[in-house]
Amino acid sequence: MTFAIQFLINVLSLGGAYALMALGLVIVYGILRLVNFAYGELIMVTGYTLFLISGSALPWFVMAAAAVAMAVVTGIATDYIAFRPVRAKSVTAVLITSFAFSTLLQNAALLFISPRPRVIPLPEIFSRTVEIGGAITPMRNLLTIAAAVILLALFAFLMRRTVLGIAMRAAATNFTMARMLGVPANLIISSAFAISGFIAGVVGLLWMGRIGTVVPGIGLEPLLVAFIATIIGGMRSLTGAVIGGFVLAFIDTSLNYTLPQELLKFRDAFTFSLVILILLWRPEGLMRGPATGQRT
Amino acid sequence: MKRNLLTFFILGGLILLAVVASQVVGIRLYDRVATNLCISLTLVLGLQVFMGNSGILSFAHIGFMGIGAYASALLTIPTMMKGMALPDLYPFLKDVQLSPYIAIAVSGLVAALVAAIVSYPLMRLSDAAAVITSFALLVVLHTVMTHWSALTNGPRTLFGVPKATDVKLAALVALLALVTALAFKESRTGKLLRASRDDERAAAAVGARIPQLRWRAFILAALFTGIGGALWGHFITSFSPRAFYLKETFLILSMLVIGGANTVTGAVIGTFIVTAAYESLRGIEGLLNEAKVSSQPVIGLTEIVLALAMMAILVLRPGGLFPTREIGALLARRFGRPEKSG
């Protein structure tokens, strides 16, 4: 019983984080059908902002809000710098510009801050543990679950009930048609990047809460996680991305418990081989997204 | 045909000129730069064979460079050294010791074989799905290289690889890669593949078997990348899996993209420009570090400048410096008699 609770909490908290990571990636992919390789750097920016303002006497929540705001700004900047100028020209070009933008941000962190890990301030609640039904679990796992539930609910409300959300879904279904009906394309895309930045910022706080430090390469793992989850769940379906995140967390946690130590080192290779297999079996992912329209 | 010969002579001449100049000057640093240039040329031309003709961005190639480097290392590290460098090596590989020149060729074939097996099912995918799987493939290859301790010494540095690559060998291989890239582009497979790049549906409608064509290009590309990796391994003589990951991928991609992925000329010119920029920026970084401008070492400046250059090129000229025509065709058009296109 204790083991079951432990397992469940692990899957839910990891899955919550993974689901948010995937959602942040797929919100842009769904509309533009372009992968943002600089997505992981949004998490890095959150971490470094927190590190840079950690000297101030501000309460932690203000600092965290500032860090998330910085991630939103970086998200919008990604659109203006790496996507908008080349979006209409070629798919390959956008992939390369976002890859270049990611390299740019990472190396800026290397050059101006440090290649070594930097400690970020965390509130005391992150390091506390609680006991639930005999299983001892860190408080931050429960916080991650709570944050995931709240953000997913908020996101669902945004997409279903607000004008912005409906316009974004329309743009994801048929961009040209949405444009003809008066949906401002650039605004919608920038909003998608802003939301992507917001989600990355929040998930970044929770993610870095596990280790308490930030390094220039911190964004790679979340990016890979988001890739896998997105592909498992269907490249363009928002619900699919969330389900994909939880499925991936389930697979990862199970592998952690079942694989022998010798093979556990190769876990990433296994999960990525799984991605390749899924893409071969269903190039559209497990869940179908909205019908394909034309990209600008 | 004449135009292609012209292209070959101009680009080949450029390579030879760079190599000869580096030897005449007689500074060791230039010798190293010229060798690196030729190895990069082999890698970039390999990538161009696939990316340029099929139009699909591939992140996986540096993984095949790693396979080439490790394969060649396993075949050439002297038996005496192997016990120390790779304590857990499988017995049947313990006594193998080939001449580095044979080993370099064999490792190219090994990389091509691995590519043939893993890429066969992937070639059906296009667009974002193809890019993500190639990225996934890079991660898989990197994870395997980092953790297969018996063959690669794990994440630690593998040492004891005999030094065999000099500037002449590297230049020879680069010239071979140049001829092959040009010949492949004009071959039946290359032409059909380029048709599929420009319009997938139309090419399929006239009977091109696109996955098959892409597969061939991918294998050829992996062959050259593997050979390039082996050359690099015998030049640097000790390396770890970290050398074959995103940083290197970024460098090779920037060479190809700045020059223009669709043309062989673009690949060669891009490699020249980026190598020159890279080496001078590295020099500047070194000077800054020596002058102790700041309290910590200056790193990352090179990548920042390259990333900015790459984005600027793509915004201003999405196809790179040589987007569609080879240098030979451009010159023939401007100076020569109007020639029948062939």
* B203-235 pLDDT tens trace: 999 888 999 999 999 999 999 999 999 999 999
Measured at the alpha carbon of residue B76, what is the angle toward residues B73 and B82, in degrees to the nearest 5?
80
- Token pair 């984005």 is found at B311
| Residue B199: how many other CB atoms lie within 10 Å | 11
> Measured between CB atoms, does B283 come within 8 Å of chain A?
no
On whether the CB atoms of residues A165 and A158 are closer than 8 A, the answer is yes
A55-59, A138-142, A279-283: range with lowest mean pLDDT: A279-283
Q: Is the pLDDT of residue A25 over 50?
A: yes
Which of B131, B147, B310 is opposite residue A265, by nearest beta carbon?
B147
- Residue in A with minimal Cα distance to B255: A96
Centroid of chain to Cα A234 = 15
Q: Is the pLDDT of residue B39 over 90?
A: yes
Average pLDDT along chain B: 89
* pLDDT bucket at A272, cuts 50 / 70 / 90: confident
On whether the CB atoms of residues A53 and A240 are closer than 8 A, the answer is no
- Residue in A with minimal Cα distance to B285: A111
**Chain A residues 39-58 with a CB less than 8 Å from chain B:** none
Disruptive mutation site among B62, B299, B304, B306 for chain A (greatest number of A CBs within 10 Å): B304
Disruptive mutation site among B142, B143, B262 for chain A (greatest number of A CBs within 10 Å): B143
Within 8 A by CB and 6+ apart from A5, the residues are A132, A133, A134, A135
Q: Is the pLDDT of residue A118 over 50?
A: yes
Q: Is the pLDDT of residue B339 over 70?
A: no
Q: B-chain residues within 8 Å CB-CB of A283?
A: 124-125, 129
Q: Is the pLDDT of residue A42 over 90?
A: yes
- Token pair 């600027």 is found at B312
The predicted pLDDT at position A259 comes to 79
Q: Do B310 and A97 touch (CB under 8 A)?
A: yes
Q: B-chain residues within 8 Å CB-CB of A99?
A: 250, 253
Average pLDDT over residues B160-182: 93
Residue span of the structural domain in which A116 resides: 11-219
What CA–CA distance (Å, rounded) separates B195 from A7?
A: 53
Q: Is the pLDDT of residue A281 over 90?
A: no
> Is A26 inside a domain boundary?
yes
Measured at the alpha carbon of residue B202, what is the angle toward residues B199 and B208, in degrees to the nearest 5?
100
- Domain boundaries along the sequence of chain B: 2-244+326-334
* pLDDT bucket at A293, cuts 50 / 70 / 90: very low
Disruptive mutation site among A25, A103, A274, A275 for chain B (greatest number of B CBs within 10 Å): A103
Average pLDDT along chain A: 86
Comparing CA positions, the residue from B25, B6, B44, B91 lying closest to residue B278 is B44
Interstrand relation of A129-132 and A118-119 (parallel, antiparallel or unpaired) = unpaired
Comparing CA positions, the residue from A67, A25, A14, A51 lying closest to residue A202 is A67
Average pLDDT over residues B288-296: 77
The predicted pLDDT at position A290 comes to 54
**Runs of H (alpha helix) within A181-260:** 185-211, 220-233, 238-258
Q: Do A92 and B137 touch (CB under 8 A)?
A: no
The predicted pLDDT at position B341 comes to 47
pLDDT 10s digits, A140-187 = 889 999 999 999 999 989 988 999 999 988 888 888 888 899 889 889
pLDDT 10s digits, B265-282 = 999 999 999 999 999 998
Q: Do B140 and A268 touch (CB under 8 A)?
A: yes
What CA–CA distance (Å, rounded) separates B102 from A192?
A: 54
Q: Do B128 and A235 touch (CB under 8 A)?
A: yes
Q: Do B311 and A101 touch (CB under 8 A)?
A: yes
Q: B-chain residues within 8 Å CB-CB of A108?
A: 300, 304
Number of domains in chain A: 1
Q: B-chain residues within 8 Å CB-CB of A101?
A: 307, 311
- Token pair 């240039």 is found at B37
Q: A-chain residues within 8 Å CB-CB of B55?
A: 92
Q: Do B299 and A269 touch (CB under 8 A)?
A: no
The predicted pLDDT at position B325 comes to 85
Q: A-chain residues within 8 Å CB-CB of B258?
A: none
Record the pTM: 0.88
Q: Do B311 and A100 touch (CB under 8 A)?
A: yes
Backbone angles phi, psi at A151, to 5 degrees: -65, -40
pLDDT 10s digits, B91-127 = 888 888 889 999 999 999 999 999 999 888 888 877 7
The predicted pLDDT at position A296 comes to 36
The predicted pLDDT at position A295 comes to 40
> Measured between CB atoms, does B144 come within 8 Å of chain A?
yes
A295 versus A97: the higher-pLDDT residue is A97
What CA–CA distance (Å, rounded) separates A102 from B56?
A: 20
> Is A143 inside a domain boundary?
yes
Q: Do B318 and A89 touch (CB under 8 A)?
A: yes
Q: Is the pLDDT of residue B4 over 90?
A: no
**Chain A residues 76-115 with a CB less than 8 Å from chain B:** 81-82, 85-86, 89-93, 95-97, 99-101, 103-104, 106-111, 114-115
The predicted pLDDT at position A288 comes to 62
On whether the CB atoms of residues A32 and A295 are closer than 8 A, the answer is yes
> Is A237 inside a domain boundary?
no
